[in-house]
Amino acid sequence: MSIKNDLFLRALKGETVERPPVWMMRQAGRYLPEFMEIREKYDFFTRCRTPELASEITVQPIRRYGMDAAILFSDILVIPQAMNIEVQMKPNFGPFLPNPVRTQADVDRVIVPDVSVELDYVYEAIKATKELLNNEIPLIGFAGSPWTILCYCVQGQGSKTFDKAKAFCFTNPVAAHEMLQKITDTTIEYLKQKIEAGVDAVQVFDSWGGMLSPTDYQEFSWQYINQIIEALKDYAPVIAFGKGCWFALEDMAKSNAAALGIDWTCAPNVARQLTGGNITLQGNFDPVRLLSQPSDIKKMVHQMINEFGKDKYIVNLGHGILPNIPVENAKAFIDAVKEYKA
């Protein structure tokens, strides 16, 4: 069965389109009243592990706004959970890992799991979501980059600097690279099976790549993301998104990624220049800008599309949508793209 609205997949292939496709990072989330209703009844990982809940949450924003792609409701930290690392999601705090990885012995205890067993609930959620979507639009699967996962595993929680994670890499590089490789191997298998279960594209989120210097980024992040791209490129399009990683865009553009995510700190013309103008780009509206007046949002979105160009472009935010965004402002963002005329 072919997908009725394949605008997103066509943009990933670099085809000429009548308008660019649009979706929003974290679109299945806390800014939606219908999401909050489910959140009050079930804790975070229950939502991730229950296919009916994950699929329902995935399609909520689609019903409301009609984006051109859905992204599976899940979390990047299901990977360390499967690798024998305890992860808790604390209300009003975020992720908490009570036994962080700090030594070679800790790394030795980390397993490369059988993802088909440990993460079976994700594949079931994909199948349930595909049924609900009924071939209307594509479904995106995702994973965190190995570096971003390592950041949480070593730091033990969110951080503004991830100083402990960086210190671990710089003082114990052998253990760090072993850990990064274990995460990479797990992620490749995980995403491969997501594609087998039915996702149409995958995105790798390098949320904390911008914490590293350009040299350290190559060593501790990009080479592992590139392994993932190489392993998956023949199965589905891969989008690589490095937040704060504009300095690596030139190298990233030489990879087999289908598209690169851009955050709001990099101007569209600069992003095009750094990437050579041949690869599809995705982004890069500042999520906080969604607090502007809906009429202003529409103007800014049209300007952003004009600056990126309508082809080889996917409209998105420069990071995830925030919980305090009014639903009508999110609607203005999506509608602006649908109303766009070149």
Distance CA(342)–CA(336), nearest Å, equals 12
Identified catalytic residue from 75, 106, 120, 251: 75
Distance CA(323)–CA(244), nearest Å, equals 21
Residues near 234 by beta carbon (within 8 Å), at least 6 away in sequence: none
* 68 carries a ligand binding annotation: no
Active site residue 75: yes
User: What CA dihedral angle connects 119, 122, 127 and 132, to 10 degrees?
Assistant: 170
Rg for the chain, CA atoms, rounded: 19
Active site residue 26: yes
Identified catalytic residue from 30, 64, 251, 286: 30
* 26 carries a ligand binding annotation: yes
Interhelix angle 173-197/223-232, rounded to 10 degrees, is 30
172 by Cβ neighbours in 10 Å (0-12 / 13-18 / 19+) ranks as middle
Q: Please report, for residues 33, 189, 229, 239, 302, the alpha-carbon distance to residue 118 in angstroms, rounded to integers and kept in the order given.
A: 31, 12, 23, 25, 44
> Of 192, 54, 48, which Cα lies nearest the Cα of 116?
192
* 277 carries a ligand binding annotation: no
Beta bridge partners of 260: 240, 281
Distance CA(262)–CA(272), nearest Å, equals 10
Identified catalytic residue from 65, 123, 152, 190: 152
* 152 carries a ligand binding annotation: yes
Are 154 and 218 contacting, i.e. CB atoms less than 8 angstroms apart?
A: no
Active site residue 39: yes
* 29 carries a ligand binding annotation: yes
Tell how strand 201-206 and strand 139-144 pair up.
parallel
Distance CA(79)–CA(153), nearest Å, equals 10
* 45 carries a ligand binding annotation: yes
* 27 carries a ligand binding annotation: yes
Identified catalytic residue from 26, 42, 120, 121: 26
* 235 carries a ligand binding annotation: no
Beta bridge partners of 314: 282
How many CA atoms are closer than 13 Å to the CA of 287, on its beta-carbon side?
17
**Catalytic residue positions?**
26, 30, 39, 75, 152
Binding residues for substrate: 26-30, 45, 75, 152, 207, 319
Binding residues: 26-30, 45, 75, 152, 207, 319
